[in-house]
Amino acid sequence: MTRFAHSVSALRSSEIRDLMSLATSPNIISFSGGMPGNELFPLDMIDNVYQSLTEKEKQIAMQYGPTNGLPILLESLSGYLEKKGLPIKKNRLMITTGSLQAINILAKAFVDPGDNILVETPSFIGALSAFRSYEANLISVPLKGNGIDIEQLKLKLETTHPKPKFLYFAPNFHNPAGIIYSEEVKLQMIELLTDKDIPLIEDDVYSDLYFYEEDVPKMKNIKTIDPEGIDVCFTGSFSKILGPGLRLGWMLVPEHIYQKCELIKQSIDACSPSFSQVIADKFIRSGYIYEYTDNVRLEYKKRGLAMIEALEKHLPNYVSFEKPRGGFYIWLHLPQGTDSTLILKKAIEKGVVFVTGKTFDPDGVKNDYMRVSFCNTDVDVINKGIPIVADAIREVCG
Amino acid sequence: MTRFAHSVSALRSSEIRDLMSLATSPNIISFSGGMPGNELFPLDMIDNVYQSLTEKEKQIAMQYGPTNGLPILLESLSGYLEKKGLPIKKNRLMITTGSLQAINILAKAFVDPGDNILVETPSFIGALSAFRSYEANLISVPLKGNGIDIEQLKLKLETTHPKPKFLYFAPNFHNPAGIIYSEEVKLQMIELLTDKDIPLIEDDVYSDLYFYEEDVPKMKNIKTIDPEGIDVCFTGSFSKILGPGLRLGWMLVPEHIYQKCELIKQSIDACSPSFSQVIADKFIRSGYIYEYTDNVRLEYKKRGLAMIEALEKHLPNYVSFEKPRGGFYIWLHLPQGTDSTLILKKAIEKGVVFVTGKTFDPDGVKNDYMRVSFCNTDVDVINKGIPIVADAIREVCG
């Protein structure tokens, strides 16, 4: 067995697995998952898409495709991303088996065991697992309400030797923090990183799920700016705007990075599922993707606002949070030093599950936060479950 | 960039990519690919499967699933494999994104950079790429007509220090060699490896595609024997018995290896496509899988026998080959020292493509072999293309 196979990640991942299995028990209210509600999938649209497939398209769906993705989907997805302002022509697009695979491939391209990389605290557990699996040394930089803490980032850049191999961040409706990066923070990041030979991995899977149209301009990606002197690797996913069961994501990266990534993908799974790709292509070309994201955006807004309201009503006043303006998550800040695992245990006894703070801590320690998701429960369930969460917090924190 | 990203694999893989792109050009006859013919996919069956899906099943298809696979598919696939004699109950089954991913995950579980592993010469290029991507040191053992060369294997086991992390082999209708391992060779392998703490990776994706029912008993897997004192990791795939576009494979491995592999898969792509898994499950439960493999088995036999006949008729007598008894491939042995790349160039000028021998050589050197595939061309095309291959060989070898 390799060093990795003996590493501590094992423990952490089994804890998550246990939580996830609880979360799918029918008798428990789950604020833990990051998956869309089953009832929200566009099944009628998928039916129409399937019915519209020609024999030739079905053959393509059943066959191997190119490692970087089916040409039809690369074309339609390019159009979709270009409309959002992403610099398709100056970069290369690759279809991946979920955006987690895109992050995993980038990690493999950049990280040798022991290499330093920069990540946010808190950060997406999937990315942390991928980075740990390549034995990266995670250097964490705190998040604030408007994005990464620029002073801390500056400090880490000055004090981290050897120089970090990249900075991984999620600018919009952060998982788990729920925040949006401000334009100012993004501009400061660009200033700090220009000509430093430290690429950015910009992971943006929730940005279509905004509650307020007015936020769209300020959610502009650093990749959209594509600043000179920084290699920005942009990753995205169909999981939140179509369905995670298709396992389709993408990366949009500079040519020289793309070349390495294609080679790596070739040895990981040869290509992403053609069947899924044919469906996703039609979903874009038919325009369903716009209709569907308009629909779910409204539904997630309803759920998110209901959860904010319930939290404001029921939480003790020593618990604070940034109100999300989109996405799936609310990140609760408990009194300093609280062990949210104790709260989780109480909550599970009462029939509610969420995710503890340390799960998202690159160092696996800081536990005075907790994440509640509003994506996978309707308003009634939210109104039933949040008072229980509040009770569990009170029982532990007094 | 990592050491891997700078490695020689880059060159080899781009050569393959170039060949593959030629192979898909409409004006060229391709004996190069390892994919089923487009016209052979069970599209009507897939239509019926899709039409039979309930709303709930479609929701499952669109949602994340457990890392190790959807419970329904694990159940139906277990039944399918158990019927073949595989020891389901004593092992753990995991669904992977193609069998290449299963091999990749096992490589990650076992290999630290510089570790020795044992592979056949020739060997499946996908596996070699995966092993190289983890910087394994490939120790090659020659193949004979009845399986791995036991004397050579014995020698390598005695002389390889540190001890190899595993032996990777493909017992049935080998890619590219086309051969079946004899029972005797398998028993000798077991004898050599018992209590040596060197696991086997037994890659068996072609065994359903036999030409002769009488061969089935002797194709029994080492995993089916599941000998005491050897950890046998068995990998398989839906690619040849349903469609590679679904990207579904599996591994059947001992519990302690499974635990590491599940953790690794979690960070690679979280789970394999649920959409594909729901379809594959129904394909098994409906019994279509048996009907379909019966059909394609006959068709591949027709093609294989036609290619054997054409080769026997047209090849110069200094080219020899083992007649395949199933699978997709024929492995031509050219006069010693021949550079099959020269033959390939001639053949491409004449409108036919195949794969050169060195592609499958772990050391990337030995080129006096070439692989012709009969899976993806019908009998007429075979009869048109093989004389051209023979001409190209004559032009180079005289």
- The Cα of B168 is separated from the nearest Cα of chain A by a number of Å equal to 16
Q: Could you count the other beta carbons within 10 Å of the beta carbon of residue B45?
A: 18
Rounded to an integer, what distance in angstroms lies between the CA atom of residue A97 and that of residue A100?
A: 8
Question: 78-137 in A: which are within 8 Å (CB) of B?
Answer: 97-98, 100-101, 104, 108-113, 126, 129-130, 132-133
Chain mean pLDDT for chain B: 94
Contact B41 A63 (CB under 8 A): yes
DSSP assignment letter at B320: B
Q: Is residue A305 within 8 angstroms of chain B, CB to CB?
A: no
Q: Which residues in chain A have Cβ-Cβ distances shorter than 8 Å to B9?
A: 263, 267
Rounded to an integer, what distance in angstroms lies between the CA atom of residue B171 and that of residue B183?
A: 10
Q: Considering only alpha carbons, which residue of chain A is nearest residue B274? A: A245
Can you say whether residue B114 is alpha, beta or left, with left for phi > 0 and alpha for psi between -120 and 50 degrees? left
Rounded to an integer, what distance in angstroms lies between the CA atom of residue A390 and that of residue A319?
A: 9
Q: Which residues in chain A have Cβ-Cβ distances shorter than 8 Å to B43?
A: 55, 58-59, 62
Contact A279 B274 (CB under 8 A): no
Contact B126 A267 (CB under 8 A): yes
Q: Which residues in chain B have Cβ-Cβ distances shorter than 8 Å to A40?
A: none
Residues with Cβ < 8 Å from B60, sequence gap 6 or more?
A38, A245, B70, B72, B274, B278
DSSP result, B9-36: HHHHHHHHHHHHHHHTSTTSEE----S-
Tokens 């987690």, residue located: A100
- The Cα of A272 is separated from the nearest Cα of chain B by a number of Å equal to 7
Please report, as a single letter, which amino acid is at residue B350: K
Q: Considering only alpha carbons, which residue of chain B is nearest residue A45? A: B58
- Which residue intervals of chain B are DSSP H helices? 9-23, 43-52, 55-62, 71-83, 99-110, 125-133, 150-159, 183-193, 222-225, 255-269, 274-285, 288-314, 340-350, 379-397
- Which residue intervals of A210-271 are DSSP H helices? 222-225, 255-268
Rounded to an integer, what distance in angstroms lies between the CA atom of residue A275 and that of residue B247?
A: 9
Which ipTM score applies to this complex? 0.94
Rounded to an integer, what distance in angstroms lies between the CA atom of residue A182 and that of residue A166?
A: 21
Q: How many CB pairs under 8 A join A and B?
A: 202
- The Cα of B335 is separated from the nearest Cα of chain A by a number of Å equal to 32
Q: Considering only alpha carbons, which residue of chain A is nearest residue B247? A: A273
**pLDDT recorded at residue A360:** 98
Question: 28-67 in A: which are within 8 Å (CB) of B?
Answer: 35-36, 38-39, 41, 43, 46, 50, 55, 58-65, 67
pLDDT band at B398 (very low <50, low <70, confident <90, very high): confident
- Choose among A140, A176, A173: nearest CA to A159: A140
Q: Which residues share a beta bridge with A236?
A: A250
Looking at the predicted structure, is the pLDDT value of residue B150 above 70? yes
Contact A129 B267 (CB under 8 A): yes
Q: Which residues in chain B have Cβ-Cβ distances shorter than 8 Å to A108?
A: 2, 4, 133
Contact A59 B43 (CB under 8 A): yes
- The Cα of B61 is separated from the nearest Cα of chain A by a number of Å equal to 6
- Residue A358 or B27, more confident: A358
Q: Which tokens go with B102?
A: 């299963």
Distances (CA, A) of B249 to A244, B87, B104, B344: 19, 17, 12, 32
Looking at the partner chain, which of B65, B97, B243 has a beta carbon nearest the beta carbon of A62? B243
Looking at the partner chain, which of A63, A245, A264 has a beta carbon nearest the beta carbon of B64? A245
Looking at the partner chain, which of A61, A246, A263 has a beta carbon nearest the beta carbon of B10? A263
Q: Which residues share a beta bridge with A147?
A: A144
Contact B260 A3 (CB under 8 A): no
Is A32 within 8 Å of A19 (Cβ atoms)? yes
Q: Is residue B266 within 8 angstroms of chain A, CB to CB?
A: yes
Rounded to an integer, what distance in angstroms lies between the CA atom of residue B362 and that of residue B350?
A: 29
- Choose among A19, A13, A38: nearest CA to A352: A19
Q: Coil, helix or strand for B241?
A: coil
Q: Which residues share a beta bridge with A117?
A: A138
Question: 319-348 in A: which are within 8 Å (CB) of B?
Answer: none
| Cis preceding linkage at A316, omega within 30 | no
DSSP assignment letter at B376: T
Question: What are the pLDDT digits (tens) for B361-386?
Answer: 999 999 999 999 999 999 999 999 99
**pLDDT recorded at residue A6:** 43
Is A347 within 8 Å of A202 (Cβ atoms)? no
**pLDDT recorded at residue A398:** 86
Q: Directed axis angle between helix A9-23 and helix A125-133, to 10°?
A: 150
Determine which helix (DSSP H) or strand (DSSP E) holds A335, and give its type and residue range. none
Contact B108 A133 (CB under 8 A): yes
Straight-line distance from the first to the last Cα atom of chain A, in angstroms, rounded to the nearest whole number: 46
Q: Directed axis angle between helix A150-159 and helix A183-193, to 10°?
A: 10
Residue to mutate among A7, A62, A135, A260, with most B CBs inside 10 A, is A62
**pLDDT recorded at residue A25:** 64
DSSP result, A189-236: HHHHHTTS---EEEE-SSTT-BS-GGGTGGG--HHHH--TT--EEEEE
Burial B53-91 (b: 16+ CB within 10 A, else e): beeeebbbbbbbbbbbbbebbbebbbebbeebebbbeeb
Contact A263 B5 (CB under 8 A): yes
Q: Which residues in chain A have Cβ-Cβ distances shorter than 8 Å to B175?
A: none
**pLDDT recorded at residue B14:** 46
Q: Which residues in chain A have Cβ-Cβ distances shorter than 8 Å to B259?
A: 10
State the sign of the Cα–Cα–Cα–Cα dihedral A374, A106, A268, A59: positive
Is A326 within 8 Å of A173 (Cβ atoms)? yes
Q: Which residues in chain A have Cβ-Cβ distances shorter than 8 Å to B109?
A: 1-2, 5
Is B330 within 8 Å of B374 (Cβ atoms)? yes
Residues with Cβ < 8 Å from B101, sequence gap 6 or more?
A268, A269, B249, B265, B268, B269, B272
Looking at the partner chain, which of A59, A110, A243 has a beta carbon nearest the beta carbon of B38? A59
Looking at the predicted structure, is the pLDDT value of residue B197 above 50? yes
Residues with Cβ < 8 Å from B358, sequence gap 6 or more?
B340, B341, B364, B365, B366, B367
Q: Coil, helix or strand for A184?
A: helix
Helices vs strands, H then E, count in chain B = 14, 13
Question: What are the pLDDT digits (tens) for B201-246?
Answer: 999 999 999 999 999 999 999 999 999 999 999 999 999 999 999 9
**For chain B, what percentages of helix, strand and coil (3-state, to nearest 5) are there?**
50, 15, 35
Looking at the predicted structure, is the pLDDT value of residue B16 above 60? no
Is A178 within 8 Å of A209 (Cβ atoms)? no
Is A133 within 8 Å of A289 (Cβ atoms)? no
Question: What are the pLDDT digits (tens) for B259-289?
Answer: 999 999 999 999 999 999 999 999 999 999 9
Determine which helix (DSSP H) or strand (DSSP E) holds A314, and give its type and residue range. helix A288-314
Nearest 5°: the CA angle A58, A59, A65 is 110
Contact A273 B1 (CB under 8 A): no
Residue to mutate among A247, A253, A261, with most B CBs inside 10 A, is A247
**pLDDT recorded at residue B27:** 81
Contact B5 A109 (CB under 8 A): yes
- The Cα of A379 is separated from the nearest Cα of chain B by a number of Å equal to 20
Contact B62 A55 (CB under 8 A): no
Looking at the partner chain, which of A5, A65, A108 has a beta carbon nearest the beta carbon of B109? A5
State the sign of the Cα–Cα–Cα–Cα dihedral B70, B76, B79, B82: negative
**pLDDT recorded at residue B21:** 54
Distances (CA, A) of A349 to A240, B112, B145: 30, 43, 63
Contact B109 A2 (CB under 8 A): yes
Contact A64 B244 (CB under 8 A): yes
Q: Which tokens go with B372?
A: 């012709």
Contact B63 A101 (CB under 8 A): no
Determine which helix (DSSP H) or strand (DSSP E) holds A348, and give its type and residue range. helix A340-350
Q: Which residues in chain B have Cβ-Cβ distances shorter than 8 Å to A260?
A: 1, 5
**pLDDT recorded at residue B87:** 98
Nearest 5°: the CA angle B47, B50, B56 is 170
Question: 236-255 in A: which are within 8 Å (CB) of B?
Answer: 239, 242-247
**Low-confidence residues in chain A, pLDDT < 50:** 4-14, 16, 23
Looking at the partner chain, which of A63, A110, A273 has a beta carbon nearest the beta carbon of B273? A273
Q: Could you count the other beta carbons within 10 Å of the beta carbon of residue A28?
A: 16
